[in-house]
Amino acid sequence: VGQLLATIPRQAASKDFVSSNFAIDIPNSVLASARQGDIGAFEQMYRWFERPVFTLAHRLCGQREEAQDVLQESMIKLYHKLGEFRGDCPFWAWFRQIVVNECLMRLRKRQNHRQTELPENAHELEDDIVLPPQAADTRQLNHALQQLPDTTRSILWLYHVEGYTHEEIAELMNKTVSFSKSQCARGGKKLRELLSDTCEVIHHG
Amino acid sequence: MADMSMQRSGVCLSEALNLLPLETPDATTWSMIASKINASKLPSRTERPRRWQIFASAACLCTLLAGIIYFNENRSVKVLPADSQLASLMQQSSKLETLLLAMRNPISSNAVTEAWQLSFDEQLQNIDQQLYLDTLSQTQQVALWQQRINILQQANSLSVRQRLHAAEGSAYNVALVESY
């Protein structure tokens, strides 16, 4: 978790739709029992967080099997690190940082083998991207997301869904703020192209 | 799924991503996590003996041998009056019992070890029950204490050999066969 715990992301007020699925308030009694090693209380916590963790891991890593591994590793780390939670931020935000770090660590290992981001373009900083109506179809949007490079997809998700700022993303990924902004804009446009292509295929088919 | 207005006019990127439903992991995930957590709580039984364990075992053996030699010398050379002889035997028994308890390792124990430990414990209990009787003469008491010490020495000797065999990575059952 390290120093990044100090930079728990703030929910950007301008982004109306940002509402992390992680934002679950755990009762203090459950948290206290889990910290004392009560496996029953810990299972209760798992049941609350399993789907948000799995979804975030699947979006960032892009593979269901790897998301499954991230879920397991993150929960085991959480069990052993519960005593380190000092309560100076919401528990869910603290735990989410463990999951994000686990995902990014796996992405960094992949970066040695293939390109995980779109080519950078400093002029493309468009933020309010409107997708074609196909974006309302879960299957089509999921399919388009899977076609984005890993890093680009991760930045899009962290910014638009989890509410991280570009500064926070840049720090997490050891990149510049302009890199995060550029990937966000390029990823959005690529997503729009992919969904538009699907639309044309449907119309012409 | 989004509503009809979204399908007609397009949808904002943030809104579209946030409307994606949560995904569900495999149902077996929790059992795997729970088993890993439980496994992490237990010390590994297959750990190779560390260098300090070998030295500790050797030190125990030396201490025990020194104790046995000292006891035997004392027993053979000095002729003590009955009272002081009894006190000396009790003291010796106490030392050997403390040493035996210190050497017993519940983590590395096995069925064979448990069996002979129970056997020694049973023999000690029988002697202790006899020692509680008020009708014993001093000679009988000395004999029982002497018997108690002999049993503790045997138990300690086996414990030391068990530790040495474990430190060398060989099976302890060999030591048991050799001893009997």
A48: Cβ–Cβ under 8 A, 6 or more apart, which residues?
A24, A26
Question: In which band, very low, low, confident or very high, does the pLDDT at B64 lie, cut at 50, 70 and 90?
Answer: low
Q: Check residue A7 and give its pLDDT.
A: 41
Q: Which of A51, A131, A142 lies closest to B13 in CB terms?
A: A131
Q: Check residue B157 and give its pLDDT.
A: 84
Q: Check residue A23 and give its pLDDT.
A: 87
Question: Measured between beta carbons, which residues in chain B are less than 8 angstroms from residue A58?
Answer: 23
Q: CA of A56 to nearest chain B CA: how many angstroms apart?
A: 9
Q: Check residue A51 and give its pLDDT.
A: 94
Taking an 8 Å cut-off on Cβ atoms, the answer to whether B6 and A132 are in contact is: no
Q: Check residue B122 and give its pLDDT.
A: 82
Residue pointed to by tokens 């439980």: B38
Stretch B158-166: mean pLDDT: 76
Stretch B133-153: mean pLDDT: 85
Tens digits of per-residue pLDDT, B98-121? 777 777 665 556 677 777 777 888
B26, closest residue in chain A (CA to CA): A68
Q: Does A156 touch chain B (CB under 8 A)?
A: yes
Q: Check residue A14 and give its pLDDT.
A: 39
Q: Check residue B91 and give its pLDDT.
A: 77
Q: Check residue A6 and give its pLDDT.
A: 38
Q: Check residue A73 and give its pLDDT.
A: 96
Question: Measured between beta carbons, which residues in chain B are less than 8 angstroms from residue A15?
Answer: 14
Interface A-B: count of C-beta contacts within 8 A:
109
Query: Model ipTM?
Result: 0.82
Q: Check residue B8 and give its pLDDT.
A: 52
The pair of structure tokens assigned to B98 is 């403390």
- Choose from A24, A50, A124, A158 for mutation: most chain B CBs within 10 A: A50
- The rounded Cα A204 to chain-centroid distance in angstroms is 35
CA within 13 Å, CB half, B125: 6
Q: Check residue A87 and give its pLDDT.
A: 87
Tens digits of per-residue pLDDT, B9-50? 678 899 999 999 999 999 889 999 998 888 877 654 445 556
- The stretches in chain A having pLDDT less than 70 are 1-19, 112-127, 198-205
Statement: residue B2 has pLDDT above 60: no
Nearest to A183 by CA among A156, A147, A143: A156
Which residues of chain A from 163 to 202 reach within 8 Å of chain B, CB to CB?
188, 191
Question: Measured between beta carbons, which residues in chain A are less than 8 angstroms from residue B30?
Answer: 43, 46-47, 50
Q: Check residue A42 and give its pLDDT.
A: 94
Q: Check residue B74 and give its pLDDT.
A: 56
Q: Report how far residue A17's alpha carbon sits from residue B12's, in angstroms, rounded to the nearest whole number.
A: 9
Taking an 8 Å cut-off on Cβ atoms, the answer to whether A17 and B33 are in contact is: no
Taking an 8 Å cut-off on Cβ atoms, the answer to whether A46 and B23 are in contact is: no
**B46: how many CB neighbours lie within 10 A of its CB?**
4
The C-alpha angle with vertex A142 and arms to A141 and A148, in degrees rounded to 5, equals: 90
Q: Check residue B3 and give its pLDDT.
A: 45
Taking an 8 Å cut-off on Cβ atoms, the answer to whether A157 and B17 are in contact is: yes
Q: Check residue A15 and give its pLDDT.
A: 46
Taking an 8 Å cut-off on Cβ atoms, the answer to whether A43 and B34 are in contact is: yes
Q: CA of A54 to nearest chain B CA: how many angstroms apart?
A: 6
Which stretches of A4-88 are DSSP H helices? 28-35, 39-61, 64-81
Taking an 8 Å cut-off on Cβ atoms, the answer to whether B17 and A55 are in contact is: no
Q: Check residue A201 and give its pLDDT.
A: 53
Q: Check: CB of residue A48 under 8 Å from CB of residue B6.
A: no
**Most confident region among B25-39, B80-94, B160-174 by mean pLDDT:** B25-39
The pair of structure tokens assigned to B3 is 């509503």
Q: What is the dihedral of CA A154, A157, A162, A165, to 10 degrees?
A: 70
